Structure 1
Amino acid sequence: MKKKILIFVTLLAFFGLTLAGCSNDKKSVAQEANTTDTWSSIKKRGRVIIGLDDTFVPMGFREKNGKLVGYDIDLAKAVFKQYGIKADFQPIDWNMKETELRNRTIDLIWNGYTITPARKKQLMFSRPYMANRQVLVTKTKDNITSFKGMKGKTLGAQISFSGASLLDEHPAMLKNYIKNKTPVLYDSFNNTLMDLDDKRIQGLLIDSVYAGYYISKEKDPSSYRVTRGGFTGEDFAAGMRKGDKTLKKKVDQGLQHLANTGELQQINKKWFGNSNNSLIKPEK
């Protein structure tokens, strides 16, 4: 009996040490992410690994031939080119992005990544470089220049975007003006533009990033008007480990340099035409 008790106690001690070791390993990974500056390692290997969701049009996505393209792809490449570093892009499970960053399988999250208070607790952000807001898209010839101009008119909104929920949260801004106080919901931006062209709807509430990209691909972008209202939005930035203070400094400086030289404006125009959501202006 005593022998069995001794074996049982030994096993408990073993498992206790094992669990403690696992806990310490997790703690050390988190501590390392918060305290280690990896810029010298990145510089030495000559490449930085950027995690992304490769289905996010137009920030980072695959063309039909499989080539990875997008606004953030061009922007990140241009930033690290200044330092002689190659930007490698690693598609990841977007739900695991912070874990991938903490475990150092990637160096950055750069893919239309929204700054939020919860995320700030886990990681560090670069300076915000793009604003994404809910905007009203109308036909220029209809001369609708404000949300109030939609009074009695039919509004379209996308099911999977935040526009529909914002209408309910702030009805006085737009919802109370539109016909029946109810939008027509769509699952495709292309379908909404077609209905807007065919006058089935007179306005569309949509993310400014999507609006700028898709309108720029139309035959006559000037036939559409984009009106900003009072809806709050979100800012995009690159996310990195809290210990990577040098990396943050380099990314921030690189973004400002692109704005100063005009290259940032060129990238914006390539992907969004005359629509400009950039938060970084050239220094005077």
Structure 2
Amino acid sequence: MRKKLVSLVALLASLIMVLSLSGCGSKKSIAQEANTADTWSSIKKRGRVIIGLDDTFVPMGFRQKNGKLVGYDIDLAKAVFKQYGIKADFQPIDWNMKETELRNRTIDLIWNGYTITPARQKQIAFSRPYMANRQVLVTKKSENITSFSGMQNKTLGVQTSSSGASLLDEHPGMLKDYIKDKTPVMYDSFNNAFMDLDAGRIQGMLIDSVYAGYYIQHEKNPDSYQTTVGGFDGEDFAVGMRKGDKTLKGKIDSALQQLANDGTLKKINEKWFGTNDNSLVEPEK
């Protein structure tokens, strides 16, 4: 009787293990399916696409004082999907969770001054690049910091999960090794970092040049800031999506080219930057 009981317990344990492994496999396959599925037909059917963004990232996507969401990427996304009769809905997200939001299908796209990096390319697919950018050091002129090495033992601010934060870790000798404790202060948004810079709580910020240029230009005393270009390579902005969304990628790429051809892209660039120099999509000849 005891032997039969032991055998029965062993059998039940084996069944539980098999079911557990089977369940894990199902969860994994569901996650894989979510990332590899082509969702264009469902987006087209519902007539709207959900775009995740950090709504404090001027001038790409941000809130005006009246709460209205505006920005370069807002205008560009609307113009792209207008060609397909699809409404662009914008969903503010925690920028630190952007890839997770995409993978969980709570959003369809990441479109918010989103830099192409090798690490991100392993997780998601990108549209063709549409704008050039680079990471710059912003300080107050009163600090007399004119190079990365001038940040020796000073406090640096960086946005969490930004391309600047990644570059800081990937190339510590360029800037990270100079700063106080070789550790930056992390911020959820650049707005908070700018406030701390103005208050003297930090002495520098590693930030996107497009953000820095626009923000400083609209400050009361823009001449009080110093912008320093270091040795980091330039970056390209693109739209992030799940790897399975090949049709969606093709539609966005094609629409960006059409906007360049008909002059709409140039108008949007000039509206927000006063120039078309940073555009990476040229009209077809």
Q: Same fold (TM over 0.5)?
A: yes
Letter in 2 for 1:91: P
* 8 Å Cα contact 2:174-2:231 kept in structure 1: no
Match of 1:65 in 2: 66
TM-score (norm 2): 0.70
* 8 Å Cα contact 1:216-1:273 kept in structure 2: no
Query: Aligned runs of 1:70-89 on 2, under 5 Å?
Result: 70-89=71-90
Residues 220-246 of structure 1 deviation map (CA, whole Å, 9 limit, x = unaligned) = 989x99886653132211111111111
CA gap of 1:129–1:23, structure 2 versus 1, over 3 A, is same
Partners of 1:71 and 1:53 lie apart in 2 by: 13
* 8 Å Cα contact 1:125-1:238 kept in structure 2: yes
Alignment partner of 1:64: what SS?
coil
* 8 Å Cα contact 2:157-2:206 kept in structure 1: no
Match of 1:181 in 2: none
Q: Which runs of 5+ in 1 are unaligned?
A: 139-149, 176-184, 196-200
Q: Which runs of 5+ in 2 are unaligned?
A: 140-145, 179-184
Letter in 2 for 1:112: G
Query: Aligned runs of 1:221-240 on 2, under 5 Å?
Result: 231-240=232-241
* 8 Å Cα contact 2:102-2:108 kept in structure 1: yes
CA gap of 1:95–1:159, structure 2 versus 1, over 3 A, is closer
* 8 Å Cα contact 1:131-1:233 kept in structure 2: yes
Match of 1:143 in 2: none
TM-score (norm 1): 0.70
1:169 paired with 2:188, answer no
Partners of 1:7 and 1:93 lie apart in 2 by: 50
Partners of 2:50 and 2:8 lie apart in 1 by: 48
Partners of 1:95 and 1:268 lie apart in 2 by: 27
Alignment partner of 1:113: what SS?
strand
Partners of 1:4 and 1:94 lie apart in 2 by: 55
CA gap of 1:93–1:128, structure 2 versus 1, over 3 A, is same
Residues 25-52 of structure 1 deviation map (CA, whole Å, 9 limit, x = unaligned) = 2332243245422111111111111122
Residue in structure 1 matching 2:158, options 134, 157, 160: 160
Per-residue deviation at 1:96? Answer: 2.9
Partners of 1:219 and 1:272 lie apart in 2 by: 18
Query: Aligned runs of 1:175-186 on 2, under 5 Å?
Result: none
Per-residue deviation at 1:18? Answer: 3.5
CA gap of 1:231–1:117, structure 2 versus 1, over 3 A, is closer
Residues 71-115 of structure 1 deviation map (CA, whole Å, 9 limit, x = unaligned) = 222211111011000011222333332232223222111122221
Letter in 2 for 1:120: Q
Per-residue deviation at 1:266? Answer: 2.0
1:241 paired with 2:242, answer yes
Partners of 2:195 and 2:273 lie apart in 1 by: 16
Percent identity between the two aligned chains: 66
Query: Aligned runs of 1:17-96 on 2, under 5 Å?
Result: 17-96=18-97
Partners of 2:245 and 2:193 lie apart in 1 by: 39
Query: Aligned runs of 1:210-221 on 2, under 5 Å?
Result: 210-217=211-218
Number of residue pairs the alignment of both structures matches = 255
CA gap of 1:18–1:69, structure 2 versus 1, over 3 A, is farther
Residues 143-185 of structure 1 deviation map (CA, whole Å, 9 limit, x = unaligned) = xxxxxxx69xx899963264995997348xxx9xxxxxxxxx9
Alignment partner of 1:61: what SS?
strand
* 8 Å Cα contact 1:256-1:280 kept in structure 2: yes
Letter in 2 for 1:13: S
CA gap of 1:278–1:226, structure 2 versus 1, over 3 A, is farther
CA gap of 1:205–1:248, structure 2 versus 1, over 3 A, is closer
Letter in 1 for 2:83: Q
Letter in 2 for 1:169: G
Partners of 2:231 and 2:216 lie apart in 1 by: 22
Partners of 1:217 and 1:275 lie apart in 2 by: 19
Letter in 2 for 1:255: L
Partners of 2:34 and 2:136 lie apart in 1 by: 38
Letter in 2 for 1:159: G
CA gap of 1:54–1:214, structure 2 versus 1, over 3 A, is closer
Match of 1:105 in 2: 106
Per-residue deviation at 1:63? Answer: 2.7
